[in-house]
């Protein structure tokens, strides 16, 4: 393992503070409220600054003549540490929560390529040296909510109000014992995941095996070109196939599929309130029954 500095917690905080002071990082103020669905509190965050950010899909950005890859080279003011020779740990320039981290490949890899053992090694090296629990996520494909074409995973500190993201918490209610891929009928949209044994959460080999098994099931149901989101917590790794990147203006990435929904306007926030967070996620995912039918026919 290529362990990161044991002072990683303090190093992240120091880098974050200096990046803010130097104007390299833009923190957006937000208003958060909870919405209880299926006995679980979903987090809905209103971030007005999101309306000012240009949004486009990875292929659209990459096709532009003036495209600049923000990760190659990366802004040194956002650099936290190298993770071996294969990955870099960066601060997210556009963050809605402090200390939002990115794990990027040192060489260009396409966002949407399957995650590798090396990717998971970078993840475990990072979270193993952080004291706070984090949500790790990966946006794969054009409809996943991804915005950059350079391969990267994201790590966000778990909100103080929860120990497990809402949809993962619901998924775990019917998940079998560790190591088996399953789809939870408690969620109204397609999902494939594995409950993780305690020692698997920090094992690159175990995480890669769980991810590969879940991805194989997802591909059997929806094909190998479908977009999806991966959400990884200490208890579970879950994939959510995506039919579209947003609905009625509400953009959804892996955080949204985890149950942490971002809204850029009051109108979007009202829509989440009226339709329900799960209602929105059902519009951007696939109906659970289509996953079952496709799997039965595969």
Amino acid 180: pLDDT:
87
- Tell me the pLDDT of the chain averaged across its residues: 91
- What pLDDT is stored for residue 292 in this prediction? 47
Span 192-200, mean pLDDT? 90
Secondary structure E strands in the chain: 26-27, 31-37, 40-46, 79-83, 87-91, 94-95, 101-105, 134-140, 152-157, 181-182, 192-195, 227-232, 236-242, 246-247, 250-251, 260-263
So what's the pLDDT on residue 147? 87
pLDDT of residue 293: 42
**Contact in structure between 213 and 230 (CB atoms under 8 Å):** no
Query: What confidence score (pLDDT) does residue 5 get?
Result: 62
Predicted pLDDT at 61: 72
The yes-or-no verdict on residue 297 having pLDDT over 70 is no
pLDDT of residue 56: 62
Task: Given the residues 100, 150, 152, 208, select the one marked as catalytic.
Answer: 152
Q: What is the pLDDT of residues 93-151, one digit of tens each?
A: 999 899 999 999 999 999 999 999 999 999 999 999 998 899 999 999 999 999 899 99
Percent of the chain with pLDDT over 70: 93
- The band of 298, judged by pLDDT with boundaries at 50, 70 and 90, is very low
Quick one: residue 202, left, alpha or beta (phi over 0 = left, psi -120 to 50 = alpha)?
A: alpha
Cα 134 to Cα 63, 100, 117, 124, 142, distances in angstroms? 33, 10, 19, 11, 25
What pLDDT was estimated at residue 54? 61
- What pLDDT digit, counting tens, does each position of 173-189 carry? 987 778 789 999 999 99
Task: Give the number of other CB atoms < 10 A from CB of residue 223.
Answer: 10
Residue 139 near residue 145 (C-beta atoms within 8 A): yes
Q: Delineate the domains of the chain, giving CATH numbers in brackets.
A: 8-297 (3.30.428.70)
Active site residue 3: no
pLDDT tens digits, 260-293:
999 999 999 999 999 999 999 999 999 986 554 4
Grouping H, G, I as helix, E, B as strand and the rest as coil, residue 94 is: strand
């Amino acid at each position: 393992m290529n362990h990161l500095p044991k002072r990683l917690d303090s190093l992240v905080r120091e880098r974050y503070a200096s990046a803010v002071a130097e104007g390299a990082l833009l923190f957006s103020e937000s208003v958060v409220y909870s919405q209880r669905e299926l006995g679980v509190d979903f987090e809905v965050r209103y971030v007005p600054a999101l309306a000012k950010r240009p949004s486009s899909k990875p292929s659209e950005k990459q096709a532009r003549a003036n495209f600049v890859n923000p990760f190659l080279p990366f802004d040194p003011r956002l650099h936290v540490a190298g993770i071996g020779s294969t990955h870099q740990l960066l601060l997210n320039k556009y963050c809605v929560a402090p200390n939002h981290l990115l794990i990027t490949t040192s060489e260009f890899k396409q966002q949407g390529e399957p995650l590798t053992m090396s990717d998971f090694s970078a993840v475990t090296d990072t979270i193993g040296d952080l004291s706070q629990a984090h949500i790790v996520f990966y946006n794969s494909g054009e409809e996943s909510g991804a915005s950059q074409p350079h391969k990267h995973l994201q790590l966000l500190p778990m909100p103080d109000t929860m120990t497990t993201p809402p949809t993962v918490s619901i998924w775990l209610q019917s998940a079998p014992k560790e190591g088996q891929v399953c789809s939870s009928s408690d969620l109204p949209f397609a999902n494939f995941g594995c409950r993780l044994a305690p020692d698997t959460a920090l094992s690159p080999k175990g995480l890669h095996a769980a991810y590969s098994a879940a991805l194989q099931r997802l591909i059997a149901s929806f094909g190998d070109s479908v977009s999806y989101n991966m959400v990884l917590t200490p208890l579970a790794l879950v994939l959510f196939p995506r039919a579209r990147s947003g609905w009625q203006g509400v953009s959804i990435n892996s955080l949204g599929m985890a149950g942490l929904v971002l809204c850029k306007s009051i109108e979007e926030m009202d829509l989440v309130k009226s339709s329900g967070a799960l209602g929105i996620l059902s519009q951007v995912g696939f109906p659970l029954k289509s996953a079952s039918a496709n799997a039965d026919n595969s």
